[in-house]
Amino acid sequence: MSTLAAPIPMPAGMPEGPRHVAIIMDGNGRWAKARGMPRTAGHRRGVETVRATVRAAGELGIEYLTLFGFSTENWKRPLDEVNFLMGLLRQYLRAELETLAKEGARLRVVGDRDGLAADIVDMIKTAEERTRANARIHVSIALNYGGRADIVQAAQRLATAVAQGKLAPAAIDEDMLEGCLLTRDLPELDMLIRTGGEQRISNFLLWQSAYTELVFTNALWPDFSKADLEHAIAEFRRRERRYGAVAG
């Protein structure tokens, strides 16, 4: 785990990648506070960064990008802020759909949709269907998502199958549980970036992060740039991923 600083050169012979990158987009509120603005101004600027980051990820060859948009814990925030965030989500889905479609981006949402407003769920379905055939970059937005809840719902699905006599408990393995997660259609998570200087994963993709490379940057999310993403990729490529084995 590291904090990004100067560019890190990629050693000769290191593998390419990452293929799948996730980002915890942290620091909107602090960005706004430092400028004497309301927190909502930081969130609005953060949406612009989402737009730029999706484009940059595609240009840098990232195939899958997963963004932590709204967690199950974010409902604890002030109601006015939650309502503003939901409004921004509506604006993003309306404004960006055609751009994503034209740029070959497939959009999908992972999380508990039962907790979202009906019109937002309808907009998500429309966006997913409109971009389903795209394959240049797969963009997943985690909404009303929690890593622990994801594992619990997967365990419940397996427990139901056992109770119905369709599955033997001894047959349950890691692959089977992973196949019940909300992210089951996504490949292995290679790198998780967190902006804003904090060094924790905040209940995001807990199962999926078992062997993920963690990269932390002090850049607040509204300031996160293509150069910061390039720094993170360079950091990823200089690491040796051993998955518990001993280095050769």
Our answer to whether residue 114 is catalytic in this structure is: no
Tell me what the pLDDT averaged over the chain comes to: 91
183 domain-assigned: yes
Q: Which residues define the annotated binding site for substrate?
A: 27-31, 39, 43, 71-73, 75, 77, 194, 200-202
Q: Which residues define the annotated binding site?
A: 26-31, 39, 43, 71-73, 75, 77, 194, 200-202, 213
Catalytically annotated residue among 74, 134, 203, 218: 74
Our answer to whether residue 74 is catalytic in this structure is: yes
CA dist 3 and 14 (Å) reads 21
Instruction: Name the β-bridge partners of 213.
Output: 191
- Helical axes 79-102 vs 39-59, angle rounded to 10°: 20
13 domain-assigned: no
Give the predicted TM-score (pTM) of the model: 0.90
Catalytically annotated residue among 26, 150, 190, 228: 26
Q: What is the pLDDT of residue 248?
A: 57
pLDDT at residue 15 tops 70:
no
Query: How many domains does the chain contain in total?
Result: 1
184 domain-assigned: yes
69 domain-assigned: yes
Q: What is the pLDDT of residue 5?
A: 35
At residue 11 the predicted structure's pLDDT band, cuts being 50, 70 and 90, is very low
60 domain-assigned: yes
Q: Which helix (H) or strand (E) holds 58?
A: helix 39-59
**Residue 110 sits in which domain range?**
20-238
pLDDT tens, position by position, 109-138: 999 999 899 999 999 999 999 999 999 999
9 domain-assigned: no
pLDDT tens, position by position, 180-218: 999 999 999 999 999 999 999 999 999 999 999 999 999
152 domain-assigned: yes
pLDDT tens, position by position, 139-184: 999 999 999 999 999 999 999 999 999 999 999 999 999 999 999 9
CB of 43 within 8 A of CB of 87? Answer: no
At residue 4 the predicted structure's pLDDT band, cuts being 50, 70 and 90, is very low
1 domain-assigned: no
**CATH number of the structural domain spanning residue 201:** 3.40.1180.10
Q: Which residues define the annotated binding site for Mg(2+)?
A: 26, 213
pLDDT at residue 6 tops 70:
no
